[in-house]
Homo-oligomer: A and B are copies of this chain.
Amino acid sequence: MSSTVDRLTDLFTTRVREIVPPLFGAAGEPVRPLISLAYGLADPALFPRAELIAAATQVLAYEAAESLNYAMSYPGLTDQIVARLQAEGVDAQPEQVLVGYGSGQILALLPEIFVEPGDIVIIEGPSFLGAVKRFVQSGARLITVPVDEHGMNVTVLADVLRRLAAEGRRPKFIYTIPTFHNPTGVTLSLDRRRQLVALAAEYGVPVVEDDAYIDLRFSGEPLPSLAALDQAGWVIRVGTYSKILAPGLRIGWVHARREIIDRLLMVKAEGTTGPFITRVVARYCADGRLERHITELRRHYAAKCHVMVSAVQRHFPAEAHFVRPEGGFFIWVTLPSGVSAQTLLTAARSRGAEFLPGSACFAEPGQGDNAIRLAFSFQSSERIEQGIAAIGAAFGDL
């Protein structure tokens, strides 16, 4: 007679018979004495604790009946998201917005409504693999378009779309992080933004615009989001409060055509996002507090970016190359010819620091070993300086 486990395993759906490790929620600062520059965590020194205490207290004191019972997401938070989108030039409407438990949830639900096994999804290389792995889990066949210092190479994208159309194939969506890209830190140029939005409409392919970092600009002129340039409704704009308020509150959102929002709600198992947490976030953000906080974050992260850039220039070999970011959380360093990111990582860990090897940002194995991602978001300026010095010294150990 077979074991209980064997008998149980017979019952699982095909999709979950083989276990795949979770992709969101597992990220966290590893518990070891390394100076980790690997992960894009928020700087805990910038959490607005007192104001969040005030917001939670007010919600519980004055809105307990609405926030603690069974109820939908707080519509006032959706209104705030709509207002910010409108200020950015997007013709946004409340019924086109869905609030989720982090933008990671939205990015994991999108393949559930678009991707059947074998369908094509176009991604950037490198990209945010946390999202890309969920596309793969849904059975997507990935096509990677390279990113250069001006963002996704839309000429290559146009070639890919033309070739696929000639074969009668239509991708399910294009996933892009156009502003202060993760991991490269680069920003898609205005010209390429216009081309990308035009290609989406021409070929009828949605563009998933993951703009997690858009509010964190340190220098240069703001560019319109893809959603703001989009007239035909092919852009699915994903946003989050994780980078501008606090990741642990787990609040993200998506703005898209109503047809897409309705279907995302169908596959969002728990229904709308909880009334308590959405009211706390909305209370905090009201009365200009969020915008004032963002101003402070910009100044603070700009300073830490400057510390890291300066340290890299002093401690890394001259042949190490990077594009100075105008915002976001990351610097992407292309290593001198012949230096392996994995080998460098081992040496750096021995010296007490770590980074994300570039290979962790490519869907295809064997790519990205000539580059590393450095996050300046989490560590203090002092630890950034120490960490970059340690990695710099590790080059000498190779």
Contact = CB atoms under 8 A, between A and B. Distances in A.
Interface of A: 4-5, 7-16, 19-20, 22-29, 39, 41-42, 44, 47, 49, 52-53, 56-57, 60-61, 64-73, 100-102, 104-105, 108-109, 112-116, 134, 137, 170, 172-173, 204, 206, 232-234, 242, 246-250, 257, 259-260, 262-263, 265-277
A310 to B, nearest CB: 26
A44 B67 CA distance: 10
Given A13-B115, A22-B271, A260-B8, A56 B65 contact: no
30 contacts: A4-B233, A7-B204, A8-B234, A11-B173, A11-B206, A15-B112, A16-B112, A16-B267, A25-B73, A26-B271, A42-B69, A47-B64, A47-B69, A53-B57, A68-B246, A69-B248, A70-B242, A70-B247, A71-B247, A101-B270, A104-B270, A104-B271, A105-B269, A105-B270, A112-B269, A134-B269, A249-B274, A250-B270, A267-B269, A274-B277
Nearest to A107: B269
Copy total for this chain: 2
Contact of A266 (B16, B49, B112, B263): B16
Contacts of A15: 112-113, 267
B47 A68 contact: yes
Contacts of A246: 68-69, 276
B274 A11 contact: no
A297 B52 CA distance: 29
A9 B204 CA distance: 11
Nearest to A134: B269
A305 to B, nearest CB: 19
B13 A113 contact: yes
Given A28-B69, A276-B277, 15 more contacts: A8-B260, A16-B113, A16-B263, A20-B266, A41-B69, A52-B68, A56-B57, A56-B60, A68-B248, A70-B247, A101-B270, A101-B273, A102-B270, A108-B269, A267-B269
